[in-house]
Amino acid sequence: MLSQKAEQFLIELRMYLIQRGKKDQDIQEIIDELEAHLIEAEQNGKNIDDIIGKSPKQYMKSIGESLPFDKKQMFTLVPMSILLVLAILSYSPAIYGEFSLSKNMLFFGSIMVVLSFALFSVFLFKGAPKLVKSLVWLIVLNIAVSLFVAGVWVAFYFWLQDQPDTLLFTATETQNYMIVAACVIIFIAFSIYSKSWIIIFMALSFSIAPIGNRFIPEEINKDPFFITIAGILGSIITIVILVFLFKRANKAG
């Protein structure tokens, strides 16, 4: 079996190649080949440094330069991700029946989206590969980054409320339903494309609060007892889903 150092290197190499837009199949092939080589080498008492040299970074670069850039993947992945972010942002307000667009939202909102994107990619490509062997720290870092981004968004919303703004568009009830439908189609398309359930779970968790708000009678909605029960149930469901996802991820790995 592989040493921890070798496994760590393969993970970092994979993230490096993904980040540089290489084809999935090419990445998988070279990783498999290197893994086979590393396993055999380590069985024969060789060290990973004998194989990839003193500088892993330099070695990753030389592999990266030998693989072609996958234009097709980039041209689908980038628009898909932008659509997905737009869908995530529009989904909740549309379910509440309050979808609207304003000048500030469009201008500052897009800056915020780009910034959040940048922060998450730094986390995903620079932070996460180094921590993959210590799951606890990975989760801590993930939560920290998510909380930070969420916090910045909340601050942004509060700041935006005090700014002079022009409303450009307010959706009617039918339009709100159409936006929700469009978002659901995007979520499903992305789930099929990425072969992962995570977006569906996320969309479902976004839906619970607004739908509840719309259809549960006011008295129940304000009762602290029911709020506590809902909070506890919500956390339990979240934990179950997380455990389920981690188990699946471990099996796949």
Partner 1 sequence: MLKGILDGCILSIIQEGEIYGYELAEKLQGYGFHSFSEGTIYPLLLRMQKENLVTTTLKKSTAGPKRKYYSLTTKGEEELEQFKLRWEEISLAVNNVMNKGGH
Candidates 32-40, 110-118, 163-171, 200-208: pick the segment binding partner 1 (CB under 8 A).
32-40
The answer to the question of residue 49 lying near partner 1 (CB under 8 A) is yes
The distance of closest approach from Cβ of residue 36 to partner 1 in the complex, given in angstroms and rounded to an integer, is 5
Instruction: Say which residue the tokens 């997380």 belong to.
Output: 242
The answer to the question of residue 50 lying near partner 1 (CB under 8 A) is yes
The answer to the question of residue 32 lying near partner 1 (CB under 8 A) is yes
Contact residues for 227 (Cβ-Cβ < 8 A; gap 6+): none
The answer to the question of residue 98 lying near partner 1 (CB under 8 A) is no
Strands 100-102 and 167-170: antiparallel
Separation of alpha carbons 172 and 84, rounded Å: 23
Residue 50 is encoded by which pair of tokens?
Answer: 């004998």
| Nearest to partner 1 of 63, 84 (CB atom) | 63
The answer to the question of residue 59 lying near partner 1 (CB under 8 A) is yes
In three state form, how does the secondary structure of 161-203 look? HCCCCCEEEECCHHHHHHHHHHHHHHHHHHHHHHCCCHHHHHH
Give the residue, chosen from 3, 24, 28, 36, that forms a contact with partner 1 under the rule CB under 8 A: 36
Helix 4-19 to helix 24-43 angle (10° resolution) is 160
| Nearest to partner 1 of 34, 171 (CB atom) | 34
Contact residues for 245 (Cβ-Cβ < 8 A; gap 6+): 197, 198, 201
Q: State which amino acid sits at residue 36.
A: A
The answer to the question of residue 37 lying near partner 1 (CB under 8 A) is yes
| Nearest to partner 1 of 52, 199 (CB atom) | 52
The distance of closest approach from Cβ of residue 109 to partner 1 in the complex, given in angstroms and rounded to an integer, is 42
The answer to the question of residue 205 lying near partner 1 (CB under 8 A) is no
Q: State which amino acid sits at residue 99.
A: F
Q: State which amino acid sits at residue 127.
A: G
The answer to the question of residue 6 lying near partner 1 (CB under 8 A) is no
The answer to the question of residue 69 lying near partner 1 (CB under 8 A) is no
Strands in 34-91 per DSSP E = none
The distance of closest approach from Cβ of residue 48 to partner 1 in the complex, given in angstroms and rounded to an integer, is 9
Q: State which amino acid sits at residue 125.
A: F
The answer to the question of residue 41 lying near partner 1 (CB under 8 A) is yes
| Nearest to partner 1 of 66, 110 (CB atom) | 66
β-sheet bridge partners, residue 22:
69
| Nearest to partner 1 of 24, 40 (CB atom) | 40
Chain residues 137-196 in contact with partner 1, contact rule CB under 8 A: none
Q: How many residues bind partner 1 (CB under 8 A)?
A: 24
- The three-state secondary structure class of 70 is coil
Chain positions contacting partner 1, by CB under 8 A: 29-30, 32-37, 39-41, 46, 49-53, 59, 62-63, 65-68
